[in-house]
Structures are given as structure tokens and as C-alpha cells.
Amino acid sequence: MVNRRRWAAGALSVLLAVMLVVTGCSSNSGGGNNPAPQQPADTANNETANNEPAAAEPEPADPEPFAIKMAVNFDGKDVPQAGNPVQQAIESYTHTQLEIDHFPGNSYQDKLSVMIASGDLPQVIASYGAPKQSYLLSAFQNDVFWDISPFIKDFPNLSSLNQAIYDNVAFQGKVFGLPRERPLARDAFIYRVDWLKNVGLQEPQTVEEFHQLLKAFKDQDPDKNGKNDTYGMTMGALGGSGPAPSTFGVFFGAPNVWDVQEGKFTRDVFTPEYLEGLKFQKQLFDEGLIHPDFAIMDRPKVEGEFENSKAGVIANSTNVALSYEARIQQHIPDATVDFFSILSTDKGKRIAAALGSNGILMFPKSSVKTEDDLKKILKFFDQLADQEMADLLEWGIEGTHYTMKDGKPEIIDQEKFDNEVGFPYKWPLRAVSLDAIKMQGNVNPLVTKELQVTTENQNHLVNNPANPFISQTQVERGAELELIITDANTKFIMGVMDEAKWKSEMDRWLSSGGDQIAKEYEEQWAAAQ
């Protein structure tokens, strides 16, 4: 009898519990207007009446991938098709859907200004080079782009970037884009090692040794084809795809564009060391060591002269030496290249410092409507510096771009990697250097040397003291005024203009607005002190 009573009591308890559950479910279903019943006080902590934990709420389904449309520069040969395996891997890891418009680097600045003027902008738009063009500064003033400085601290990888690099791209204390980090000094002269051996010389250390190298590359049949069909260095228009006169000027002791002494700013062109560097380039031209048509050569033509073994030296940056070697080896499998950055003079070792970034990635308010969307985009770029993405951007896809050898990744085909990973994704999209994050692998000695040289260069930097400042005259008329200097330099090198006329052109630059630029820098410098 006792057992029957216990069984009946238990059955009644179960029946009551079932009725309560059914009643509760019906009151919350079908979009009814009745509020959910209040939980009893003794079960308020998500516990049932018998003190057992309630079942966990199901996780919400993942939202759709966040769509990001971008416009960036592209310096490779062939833009990869959308939806390629590398892009798919990026999208999968970051939970995004990317639409990337790649524009040729040599015409990107013109395209950028047109896009901004039209107002039809994607969510991410890259600037190429220093973000100090007048149309960009005007856009910053008119609040076209988001100021990202309040948000950087929320992203561990982006906030690891050297603050000085953010400062160098800031405008009126605001950062209107994410810097694409690169070494502060990475200018390099890339040369053919096989040619160097054929003419019996060593890598040049001084300006004079460099001069002798170029002469040998012109006169001593460095490719051993029995023809007089080579010259020393390929270069394009000044200020474009070639070493600027200021590069050699700094070697000879000139300031890096601007100098400031006791609060007074002076442009480098008014120093004898700058003119000495210009005369050196004129000597190279007079002796036929650079192409006679350098002033009208665009980047593809300049690079083609090096790739096709017409010239033995090309000026570019440390990180592209390996790419040039891969291109040349398509024609000459045994060809190799190397590079150096500094040519010393009696002034010692000196090299011009840059901004530490190759343009910025900007986020227009017209297409990035909310802070939440901005944070999602910043998260995407932050994730590109995670371990998995660092390995993808540095090595590509295993079996396609690299193979594992002795437990370390090793690139299979450098040119394939450059065209499918480096040019379309790594260089235009990465904000933070991946050197300390990526898997350490079996690398070409040029990669190791790149890190060594850019690190060593930091001991010999010549900074431009005007970098942190904005001159309104420079913004409005800087490009026009710079043409006076560039045109005069070109004509001087080519022998069309003598030294006296060149100096008068520098004076014209000064009286046409250069003196006002200096004054505006001086005012900001004084305020900063």
C-alpha cells in the first residue's frame, strides 16, 4: 500500500509538471500578446523547481558574411580572378565577402582623385604614397572619411603599430586612414649579380664605385653576347620610377627635402650638397649610363629594360628584389640579383627616411554608415595580422605557392606567389608588418638581406622635419610648385639648362610660393615646440 501511494504521488507530480510546461509553451508561441509568465523567486537564477540547472539557450545562427568593397593599387602583371583560393581563404577566416577593384599603380593617384570627386566610393579606398595630396586633405577637412584614431586601441594588432607612423599620416590631430606599414628606409639599388661577376667587380660601397659599376655594365659586355647593347641603370621620370635627385643629395650631405635650423626651414635645393648630387646624375647621363629617354619612360618600360637585360641596375625598394629576380629568370634561368641601399661619401653613410607607410586605407562615411560597420572593417584588417592570415599572406597556399621542407615552408614559384598573393593581397591590404608573426621558413637570401638592410638603415636615417606638418600653400599649390623643381632638374641633367639658369629656377620656386611654404612650416614648428 505504501509503495502504491508513493507511486501515485510521483505520477501526480510528473503530470502537474507536464501541464505547467505545456501551459508555458502555449503562452509564448504564435506571436501572442501575453507576456511570458514570471519565474518564481526561488527559480530566478535559471534553475528549475528541483534546483537543477536549466538547459542552455541555443546559440544564434552565424550572420551572413560581412560584405566589404575596396579599391586598391595593383603593381603586378595580372589581377587574379575574384573567388580565387587565396581570397576564399581570407573570406573564410574573416567571415567576409570581398569585392576588390585593383587599379594599376602607375595611374592610381589620378583614378583616386576622380573617385573622391565623384563621391561614388567603396567602403575601403587606398591612398598610394603619402596622404598629403590637396584633394585628400580637402576630403579630410570636409569629413569625407572616418577618423579612426578613437577606435585603434580596441584592436590588438592595429594598436601594435608604431605611434610615430600614425603621427606621420595624421591631419590636424586626426588619423583618417590605416597606415600600410613598411620600413622607414628601404630605398635600394637592385643589380644583376651575374653581370657583376662578368665584369670582375664587387658590390659598390661608395658613389664612385657605383659610377664605375655603371660604366662597366655599359662598356664591358656584361651579358657576354658580343654586342654593345647594354647600359648601366634604368630609370624613369624624376619623382617617378627612378631615384630622385634628393636620394643622391642626401648621400652627399643634403637634408631630406627640408632642413630646420633655429626654427628656420630651408629647402634642400638651396644647399651645395643637393646640387652635387644633381651633377652626379648629369654625369651618368652625359656618359650614356642611363637611358637617353629616361624623362618620358613609364614604370612598365623602366622595369622592362631591367627584366629584358638591357640595363644592369634598377632603383626601387628592398622588398621587390626577389620579384625582379623571378621575372628575369623567366628569360635567363641562371640570372641572379642583389641590392644595396646606401652609397657612402666623405659625409659618411646617410639615407633619406620616409613616412614608414605606403599610403593609408581610408573608410568613406558615405559608404560606411555606422561605427559598428567601421569596427567590422577594422576588425577585418586586424585579423589579417593573426597567425593564420600572416602565414597565408607570407607563404600562400600549401602545394600551390609553398611546400614544407624540413618542417619549414618554402616558396615554390616566386613569380606565381607575387601575382596571386603578394601584389593583390599582401602589399595593398596588410596594415601591420607580418615578419614577427608568420611561420619562419626556408627563404631566399634576398629576403633575409631585406630585413638586415632595413634594420641597419635605421642607424643612418636623415628625417624630413616637415613630415608632421601641413602647409596650406603646399596643399593648394604644392604639385604646381614642385613641377618647377622637377622640370629644372630634368633639363639640367639632360644638359638643356646650365647651372646659372637652374639656380634662377630655384629662386623662382621660392618667390612663387616656396617661401610661404617655409613660413607655414616654421609657424607650426614653433607652436609644436
Tens of pLDDT, residues 471-498:
989 988 988 999 999 999 999 999 999 9
pLDDT at 355 over 50: yes
Q: Whole-angstrom Cα distance, residue 72 to residue 50?
A: 61
pLDDT of residue 239: 67
Least confident of 41-45, 234-238, 288-292, 494-498: 41-45
pLDDT of residue 173: 84
Mapped onto helix, strand or coil, the DSSP state of residue 175 is coil
Bridge partners, 345 (sequence order): 348
Task: Please write the tens of the pLDDT for every residue from 307-323.
Answer: 999 999 999 999 899 99
Bridge partners, 104 (sequence order): 74
The greatest distance separating any two alpha carbons of the chain, rounded to the nearest whole angstrom, comes to 125
Share of the chain above pLDDT 70, in %: 88
DSSP for residue 43? G
pLDDT at 368 over 60: yes
- Contact between 185 and 352 under an 8 Å Cβ cutoff? The reply is yes
Contact residues for 53 (Cβ-Cβ < 8 A; gap 6+): 46, 47
The DSSP bridge pattern shows strands 187-192 and 178-181 to be: unpaired
pLDDT of residue 2: 36
* 61 vs 17, higher pLDDT: 61
Bridge partners, 72 (sequence order): 102
Cell 647651372 found at: 499
Confidence class of residue 62 from pLDDT cuts 50, 70 and 90?
low
pLDDT of residue 100: 96
**Per-residue b/e over 486-511, b at no fewer than 16 CB within 10 Å?**
bebbbbbbeeebeeeebbebbeebbe
Q: Whole-angstrom Cα distance, residue 482 to residue 240?
A: 13
Mean pLDDT across the stretch 145-170? 93
> If residue 265 lies in a helix (H) or strand (E), which one and from where to where?
strand 264-267
Bridge partners, 398 (sequence order): 402
Mean pLDDT across the stretch 92-98? 97
pLDDT of residue 47: 39
pLDDT at 142 over 90: yes
Across the chain, what does the average pLDDT equal? 87
Q: Whole-angstrom Cα distance, residue 181 to residue 454?
A: 13
Report pTM: 0.72
- Within the chain, all domains assigned CATH 3.40.190.10 are found at 66-183+356-437, 187-352+463-528
Q: Which span out of 97-106, 167-176, 473-482, 502-511 was modeled with the highest average pLDDT?
A: 502-511
**CA nearest to 309, candidates 283, 334, 287, 285:** 334
**Cell numbers at 426, concatenated:** 599582401
**Cα angle value 356/361/362 (rounded, 5°):** 130
Mean pLDDT across the stretch 270-293? 96
Q: Whole-angstrom Cα distance, residue 275 to residue 453?
A: 27
What phi, psi does 338 have (nearest 5°)? -150, 180
Mean pLDDT across the stretch 260-276? 97
Mapped onto helix, strand or coil, the DSSP state of residue 152 is helix
pLDDT of residue 224: 95
| CATH 3.40.190.10 is the classification of domain 187-352+463-528 | yes
pLDDT of residue 492: 97
* Measured distance between the N- and C-terminal CA atoms of the chain, rounded to whole angstroms: 98
CATH of domain 66-183+356-437: 3.40.190.10
Q: Whole-angstrom Cα distance, residue 148 to residue 365?
A: 11
Mean pLDDT across the stretch 330-351? 96
**Per-residue b/e over 142-161, b at no fewer than 16 CB within 10 Å?**
eebbbbbeebbeebebbeeb
